[in-house]
Structure 1
Amino acid sequence: MSSTTTEVLQRKPRNVAVNTNPEHGLHLVESDVPEPGPKDCLVHVRATGICGSDVHFWKHGKIGDMIVVGENGLGHESAGIVIKTGSEVTRFKPDVVFFSTPPYDGTLRRYHVHPEAWLHALPDRLSYEEGSLLEPLSVALAGIDRSNLRLGSALVICGAGPIGLVTLLAAHAAGAAPIVITDMDENRLQVAKKLLPRVRTVKVAREDAAKDLGTRIIETLGTEAELVLECTGVESSIQAGIYATRFGGSVFVIGVGKDFQNIPFMHLSSKEIDLRFQYRYHDTYPKAINLVNEGLIDLKPLVTHRYKLDDGVDAFATASTPGARAIKVQILDD
């Protein structure tokens, strides 16, 4: 442990976290710096991205059966540096950390204890901001792996939010072509164009009928989609993706939506379209780290807003306000 780290711990610094509760409150809380167990590491979290699920737990108090029943720390897109280790820890300096979903507190806090086995070392050339973006990239990589996207696959991505845009970058690296991305927000579609000039865009309106939107997607793509990666979880968007898919194609839902939804059952059946889903991911961090470190995927342009940890509540306001035009809001701590 460095002399600087020792001085920090001796000063008993504030351990600040961003919490929500069943009353949909959002506030900073302070606690003692935790002690790592024998196989744990104490991490100073340096960068945390705000995920749509964090906003959802705050605003709605639940996602499916995962319900906020008490004070619950938010955040799971985090990167930081190990400043103290348990007696049985045998490795680690810089690391990436992941947590959160009730009843477990998240990593949007200054100091967080995390199992050594679940930490991944960052190469020196990757920043903490890039490290925290490896979590949404892991979501995209799991979707691409499990959906069997191949070189030259005609692809539709529904939703140009953070997950949709990371999926766009990963699908490009995987060789999908052509690619269409959809969204209601013209600004997000323009961001997609800047990230990948060859992508084709379809702007969605709330009043669009799903079947008509599916037809428009096909016209823009130039063919029926072999694969749709649905990144919104919105019922009408899933329906449109289904109508845009060719015979024997696949619709792979990554987004989080309502507990019960309607689907065009007989259309799926008559065209033998596979409808599949993704909940989480596993063993994706090493691949995500390599892709970014080798320059195949550049995550840096996704960060549009940065806040200090003490301004975490303001950061959530920005992340949840469409007019702010945020893509990825990050909370940083020096």
Structure 2
Amino acid sequence: MGKGGMSIIDEEENMAAWLIGINTLKIQPFKLPPLGPHDVRVQMKAVGICGSDVHYLKKFECAGFVVKEPMVIGHECAGIIQQVGTEVKSLVPGDRVALEPGISCWRCNHCKGGRYNLCPDMKFFATPPVHGSLANQVVHPEDLCFKLPDNVSLEEGAMCEPLSVGVHACRRANVGPETNVLIFGAGPIGLVTMLAARAFGAPRILVVDVDDYRLSVAKSLAANETVKVSTNLQDIDDEVEQIKKAMGAEVDVTFDCAGFSKTVSTALRATSAGGKVCLVGMGHNEMTVPLTPAAAREVDVVGVFRYKNTWPQCLEFLSSGKIDVKPLITHRYGFSQKEVEEAFEMSAQGSRAIKVMFNM
């Protein structure tokens, strides 16, 4: 028996969704590491599919990280504490928690300086070679498991991970009550960035995308205006005019949640002198963009990578009702071989599938 009277699961019973080949996921046994003194064992209850998970499934790589051996997928997650290590003070079996998926070293200069998201030795769920959390149970450090307020569901807890990207982006760009915000991309990350910008007080938000349905979702949630664009580079001049007209004010901060040559080029052009362009999406590794004219207008280009110290803020936003992520969860699946395959297919289709969630 473990501390708290919960029996330790037989490792044969713990199953996980393994990425074993391109377009091939298989539910098979997942042996958990031993429980350290500061660790907890969590029964997974809600796990969302991220765009990076789909990238790994389709291409075996994402943003320079390459899958070289079978890997458990998934990193947006929440669950219930089953067992706690001997030194764990803040959690007990039965607690509902949201998990922050990255374990940093706490020894490097980035960690010591508080920017632990830049840790070169980060061990992040489902970023090769680290196993993820689409499993019956996982072991994780106590300090990366955040107790859910009573009025926040396990699904909302899992949504803290994508929401954290939006919160971190808004902090990086200093979004506040005087910041007019432009967002490129109305996928999951564009939409959570929009919700975060509104919660941080942005008075005016304009969302740009190529997809009518996703723009309608943005409009129904928090966008003041939306603009539909094309993927054609020749259209940038016209689209910049459309954006400026629809905004009806200076664009102080632009979040590019797509990360393509065209979106970055348009963002640099549409952002007002002295404003910021925040690069959140990672569509293209290399791109040709008009940096010199933007630099001549002192437009700052800010990079965003994951997040740091965001879970308490996300839980406060969700608990207080300042942010409602529930409308973003469009599809739900159970944890069977057939449903795992169907869920990833649905997520890969995009458009009407915004956030696909497993209920374990």
Instruction: Please say whether Structure 1 and Structure 2 have the same fold, judged by a TM-score greater than 0.5.
Output: yes
Between the aligned partners of 2:291 and 2:25, the Cα distance in structure 1 is: 40
Bigger mean CA offset, 157-166 vs 86-95: 86-95
In structure 2, the residue matched to 1:73 is 72
Between the aligned partners of 1:52 and 1:202, the Cα distance in structure 2 is: 23
Question: Deviation of residue 10 (structure 1)?
Answer: 6.1
In structure 1, the residue matched to 2:344 is 316
In structure 2, the residue matched to 1:326 is 353
The TM-score with structure 1 as length reference comes to 0.92
Bigger mean CA offset, 247-256 vs 9-18: 9-18
Q: SS in structure 2 opposite 1:91? A: coil
Q: Which amino acid aligns with 2:357?
A: Q
Per-residue deviation, residues 183-238 of structure 1 (Å, max 9, x unmatched): 11100111111112x52001122225233322221111113411101111122111
Between the aligned partners of 2:78 and 2:58, the Cα distance in structure 1 is: 25
The CA RMSD measured in Å over matched residues stands at 2.1
Question: Deviation of residue 21 (structure 1)?
Answer: 4.1
The answer as to whether partners of 1:48 and 1:108 remain within 8 angstroms in 2 is yes
Q: SS in structure 2 opposite 1:179? A: strand
Q: SS in structure 1 opposite 2:308? A: coil
Q: SS in structure 2 opposite 1:225? A: coil
Consecutive unaligned residues of structure 2, counting only runs of 5 or more, are 102-124
Consecutive unaligned residues of structure 1, counting only runs of 5 or more, are none
Cα separation, partners in 2 of 1:11 and 1:118, compared to 1, 3 Å: closer
Give 1:247-286 correspondences, 5 Å limit.
Answer: 247-286=273-312
The answer as to whether partners of 1:14 and 1:32 remain within 8 angstroms in 2 is no
Question: Deviation of residue 22 (structure 1)?
Answer: 5.5
Q: Which amino acid aligns with 2:58?
A: K
Q: SS in structure 1 opposite 2:46? A: strand
Question: Deviation of residue 37 (structure 1)?
Answer: 2.1
Does residue 1:201 correspond to 2:226, yes or no?
A: yes
Cα separation, partners in 2 of 1:32 and 1:265, compared to 1, 3 Å: closer
In structure 1, the residue matched to 2:105 is none
The TM-score with structure 2 as length reference comes to 0.86
The answer as to whether partners of 1:94 and 1:121 remain within 8 angstroms in 2 is yes
Q: Which amino acid aligns with 1:94?
A: R
Bigger mean CA offset, 44-53 vs 10-19: 10-19
In structure 1, the residue matched to 2:323 is 297
In structure 1, the residue matched to 2:41 is 42
Between the aligned partners of 1:189 and 1:58, the Cα distance in structure 2 is: 27
In structure 1, the residue matched to 2:255 is 229
The answer as to whether partners of 2:22 and 2:59 remain within 8 angstroms in 1 is no
Bigger mean CA offset, 57-66 vs 179-188: 57-66
The answer as to whether partners of 1:214 and 1:242 remain within 8 angstroms in 2 is no
Q: Work out the number of aligned pairs and report it.
A: 329
The answer as to whether partners of 1:66 and 1:102 remain within 8 angstroms in 2 is yes
In structure 2, the residue matched to 1:95 is 97
Question: Equivalent pairs: percent with the same residue?
Answer: 36
Between the aligned partners of 2:160 and 2:242, the Cα distance in structure 1 is: 33
Q: SS in structure 2 opposite 1:247? A: coil
1:241 alignment partner, one of 261, 267, 277: 267
Between the aligned partners of 1:273 and 1:251, the Cα distance in structure 2 is: 7
Between the aligned partners of 2:169 and 2:311, the Cα distance in structure 1 is: 14
In structure 1, the residue matched to 2:111 is none
In structure 2, the residue matched to 1:146 is 172
In structure 2, the residue matched to 1:129 is 155
Per-residue deviation, residues 95-118 of structure 1 (Å, max 9, x unmatched): 111233111111111110101121
In structure 2, the residue matched to 1:287 is 313
Question: Deviation of residue 308 (structure 1)?
Answer: 0.4
The answer as to whether partners of 1:22 and 1:68 remain within 8 angstroms in 2 is no
Between the aligned partners of 2:295 and 2:165, the Cα distance in structure 1 is: 28
Cα separation, partners in 2 of 1:82 and 1:241, compared to 1, 3 Å: same
Between the aligned partners of 1:142 and 1:6, the Cα distance in structure 2 is: 36
Between the aligned partners of 2:10 and 2:306, the Cα distance in structure 1 is: 38
The answer as to whether partners of 2:12 and 2:30 remain within 8 angstroms in 1 is no
Per-residue deviation, residues 226-259 of structure 1 (Å, max 9, x unmatched): 1101111122111111111111111001112222
Cα separation, partners in 2 of 1:135 and 1:20, compared to 1, 3 Å: same
Question: Deviation of residue 329 (structure 1)?
Answer: 0.3
Does residue 1:182 correspond to 2:208, yes or no?
A: yes
Q: Which amino acid aligns with 2:220?
A: K
Q: SS in structure 1 opposite 2:162? A: helix
Q: SS in structure 1 opposite 2:258? A: coil
Q: Which amino acid aligns with 2:281?
A: G
